[in-house]
């Protein structure tokens, strides 16, 4: 059967990096894309860039959409505007693109159950296309952002299989690698590989600043290795905070694992156990290709 995104209009809420990229790829694939944005200036620029077939600041633009993608920042996703909720078509499949899944499922489960209008909770599919660049805003969207990248869905026991399938078809049409897991496993994994590196790199920058003594020297000698290690740690502070807040439990657990590993390495340096240190560094060296 023809996929839902080809049969019915697709709604995109928010046209930042993720929403704009979704719009561009869906337009290129021949979908009819109806986008909702907050500010009139954004709407105008989005029209110029061709990010959607129709762009509006009026939630009514979503009327008639068979599938709606919520491409909002985490804070706005967790506290959506009532007008948005009211405008979601009752029959639509809804998915989000948030980087933390447990809180999104709990919040949207409540919202859709409490509302009595709008789609049923079972047609809400929590998902996370894991693609990104350093850019943000209406200029950031680009073609092919999802190609070859993981797109993780975290269905629950009562998730409508047809809704899940509709999101999978869209993700795969955009070239993403489709994965399903439970929300807790997802959140634990992203704490380790996305959120922990933010704290690790941020602390490294602060240590280099605090420990430098002759501050100019430390800065003059920093190389590409330091730049790489601190790239995500020196990223957008608000984004980093929002992810930590939404994924606090898993992040604290990841920090425990990390501090245990670091303490082990430090003890070897302190005790001058050089063969132990080399073995431990060899373990890290062996692990890394698995994560690429």
Residue closer to its own copies (CB basis): 116 or 216: 216
Q: d(Cα 248, Cα 258) in Å, to the nearest integer?
A: 15
Shortest Å, Cβ 29 to its own copies: 24
Residue 287 binding its own copies, by CB under 8 A: yes
Q: How many residues bind its own copies (CB under 8 A)?
A: 95
What is the footprint of its own copies within residues 246-275 (CB under 8 A)? 248, 251-255, 257-262, 264-266, 269-270, 272, 274
Residue 238: its H or E element: helix 237-246
What does the buried/exposed string (b/e) look like for 4-21 if buried means 16 or more CB atoms within 10 Å of the residue's CB? bbbebbbbbbbbbbbbbb
What is the footprint of its own copies within residues 170-209 (CB under 8 A)? 177, 179, 181, 185-186, 188-194, 196-209
What is the footprint of its own copies within residues 7-66 (CB under 8 A)? none
Are 143 and 28 contacting, i.e. CB atoms less than 8 angstroms apart? yes
Residue closer to its own copies (CB basis): 160 or 253: 253
Shortest Å, Cβ 135 to its own copies: 14
> Pick from 57, 75, 74, 68: which is nearest to 90 by CA?
68
Shortest Å, Cβ 284 to its own copies: 4
Stretch that binds its own copies, among 20-28, 38-46, 49-57, 227-235 (CB under 8 A): 227-235
What is the footprint of its own copies within residues 205-224 (CB under 8 A)? 205-214, 217-223
Shortest Å, Cβ 186 to its own copies: 8
What does the buried/exposed string (b/e) look like for 95-124 if buried means 16 or more CB atoms within 10 Å of the residue's CB? bbbbbbbbbbbebbbebbeeeeebbbbbbb
Residue closer to its own copies (CB basis): 117 or 227: 227
Residue closer to its own copies (CB basis): 46 or 153: 153
What is the footprint of its own copies within residues 125-144 (CB under 8 A)? 130, 132
> Residue 141: CB partners within 8 Å, gap ≥ 6?
15, 16, 17, 18, 19, 20, 21, 22, 23, 24, 49, 51
Look at phi and psi of residue 10 and say left if phi exceeds 0, alpha if psi is from -120 to 50, else beta.
beta
DSSP bridge pairs for 55? 35
Residue closer to its own copies (CB basis): 1 or 220: 220
Residue closer to its own copies (CB basis): 122 or 194: 194
> Pick from 121, 118, 182: which is nearest to 156 by CA?
182
Are 92 and 11 contacting, i.e. CB atoms less than 8 angstroms apart? yes
According to CB under 8 A, which one of 64, 73, 150, 175 is a site residue for its own copies?
150
What is the footprint of its own copies within residues 66-105 (CB under 8 A)? none
Q: d(Cα 174, Cα 22) in Å, to the nearest integer?
A: 8
Helix extents (H) in 149-236: 161-173, 183-190, 196-211, 215-221, 224-229
Q: d(Cα 278, Cα 282) in Å, to the nearest integer?
A: 6
Residue closer to its own copies (CB basis): 120 or 226: 226
Shortest Å, Cβ 142 to its own copies: 15
Shortest Å, Cβ 184 to its own copies: 9
Residue closer to its own copies (CB basis): 57 or 259: 259
């Amino acid at each position: 059967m023809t996929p839902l995104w080809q049969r019915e209009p697709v709604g995109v809420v928010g046209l930042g990096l993720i929403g704009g990229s979704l719009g561009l790829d869906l337009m290129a694939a021949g979908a009819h894309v109806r986008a909702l944005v907050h500010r009139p200036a954004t709407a105008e620029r989005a029209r110029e860039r061709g990010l959607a077939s129709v762009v509006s600041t009026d939630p009514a633009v979503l009327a008639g959409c068979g599938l709606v993608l919520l491409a909002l920042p985490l804070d706005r996703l967790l506290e959506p505007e009532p007008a948005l909720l009211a405008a979601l078509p009752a029959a639509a499949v809804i998915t989000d693109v948030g980087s933390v899944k447990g809180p999104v499922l709990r919040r949207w489960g409540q919202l859709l159950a409490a509302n009595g209008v709008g789609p049923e909770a079972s047609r809400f599919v929590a998902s996370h296309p894991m693609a990104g660049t350093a850019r943000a805003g209406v200029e950031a969207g680009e073609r092919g952002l999802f190609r070859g990248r993981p797109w993780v869905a975290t269905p629950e026991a009562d998730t409508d299989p047809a809704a899940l399938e509709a999101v999978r078809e869209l993700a795969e049409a955009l070239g993403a690698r489709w994965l399903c897991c439970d929300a807790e496993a997802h959140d634990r994994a992203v704490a380790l590989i996305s959120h922990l590196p933010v704290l690790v790199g941020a602390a490294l920058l602060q240590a280099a600043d605090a420990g430098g003594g002759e501050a100019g020297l430390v800065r003059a000698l920093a190389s590409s290795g330091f730049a790489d290690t601190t790239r995500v740690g020196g990223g957008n502070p608000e984004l980093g905070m929002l992810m930590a807040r939404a994924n606090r439990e898993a992040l604290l657990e990841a920090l425990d694992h990390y501090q245990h590993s670091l303490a082990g390495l430090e003890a070897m340096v302190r005790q001058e156990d050089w063969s132990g240190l080399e073995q431990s560094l060899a373990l890290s060296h062996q692990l890394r290709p698995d994560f690429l």
